[in-house]
Copies of this chain bind each other. A is one copy, B any other.
Amino acid sequence: MLGRRLVNGVESTGLAVDDRGLQYGDGLFETMSALDGRIRHFGLHLERLAEGCCRLRMPMPATEQLEHDCSRVLEGLGAATVKLIVTRGPGPRGYRPPVEPSVSRIVMSSAARPRSEQALLTLRVCETRLGQNPLLAGLKHLNRLEQVMACSEWAEPAIAEGLMRSMDGRLISATAANLFLVRGGCVITPDIRDCGVAGVMRRLVLETAARKGIPTRIEDLPLESLAEADEVFLTNAVTGVRPVGEVLGTRCWPLGELTRALTAAVAMEDA
């Protein structure tokens, strides 16, 4: 079943072409998982969106409006994905943001894709790098050409995701997921101070691990750190925790203990 689309609360498939979301990618988005009308970790998504609006210095739509929009597009859908886009809205020509922007909200739902078995993922290492800019790092903004180009590097269906590195060679994330390594019982994820996205599931895994007494670390990870990892997994708000079985050209891993424990613990989290 195809989902519904609301633009500023109105059932619509179109957005004004002078919207700064299209003109400059001047906006943010959240991709969320929903079941029977309820969005998982909605509070965390709203928190990240609010931080993004603050850093981009644009107004945050009212929570009630967003809740209302989301519940409308989820009507009649069971397991679904909701994508929420908030842009700085329409404006005259030119990069300069309007002094009092009228933000646009676009909410789109789609039936959830059938989830494959919790198979071990095969990844590649992408040639496309992530440009470094602390001003935008961590934000889930609409400037995503690097991810688009990285995804166009391969077509093999057996390769589930691609790992992306910063310009200076550090592992940062997959194209649409955060990266975690387990080493010596410690759960490690790359520092995203100057590129990468602060994923909602990344945060949830770090917090859940900490609550369970599992040591966590955020650090710089060179490509070579994969060789020393005991377990590798990816996280994403829609697909949760997914174990990695191989990074082509580096090494393989069996399904690990901590990955399994965190998958279960995160699935239990209610938020």
Contact = CB atoms under 8 A, between A and B. Distances in A.
Interface stretch (A8-16, A32-40, A262-270): A8-16
Contacts of A26: 144-145, 148
A83 interface: yes
Contacts of A18: 5, 13, 108
B14 A17 contact: yes
Interface stretch (A125-133, A211-219, A242-250, A252-260): A125-133
Contact of A21 (B7, B22, B96): B22
Interface stretch (A149-157, A179-187, A221-229): A149-157
Contacts of A94: 151, 176
Nearest to A16: B13
Contact of A95 (B93, B130, B151): B151
Given A14-B17, A129-B135, A24 B95 contact: no
A25 B175 CA distance: 15
Contact of A175 (B85, B95, B142, B148): B95
A25 B144 contact: yes
A93 B151 CA distance: 13
A235 interface: no
A95 B19 CA distance: 21
A143 interface: yes
A176 B94 CA distance: 8
A146 B133 contact: yes
A146 to B, nearest CB: 7
Interface of A: 5, 7, 12-26, 29, 31, 56-57, 81, 83, 85, 87-88, 93-97, 106, 108, 110, 128-133, 135-136, 141-152, 167, 175-176, 195
Given A22-B106, A22-B142, A128-B135, 10 more contacts: A13-B16, A13-B18, A15-B16, A15-B22, A19-B22, A23-B144, A56-B149, A133-B146, A135-B149, A143-B144
24 contacts: A12-B14, A13-B17, A14-B14, A14-B17, A15-B22, A17-B108, A19-B22, A20-B148, A22-B106, A23-B29, A23-B85, A25-B144, A26-B145, A56-B145, A56-B149, A81-B93, A95-B150, A95-B151, A128-B135, A129-B133, A129-B135, A131-B133, A132-B167, A143-B144
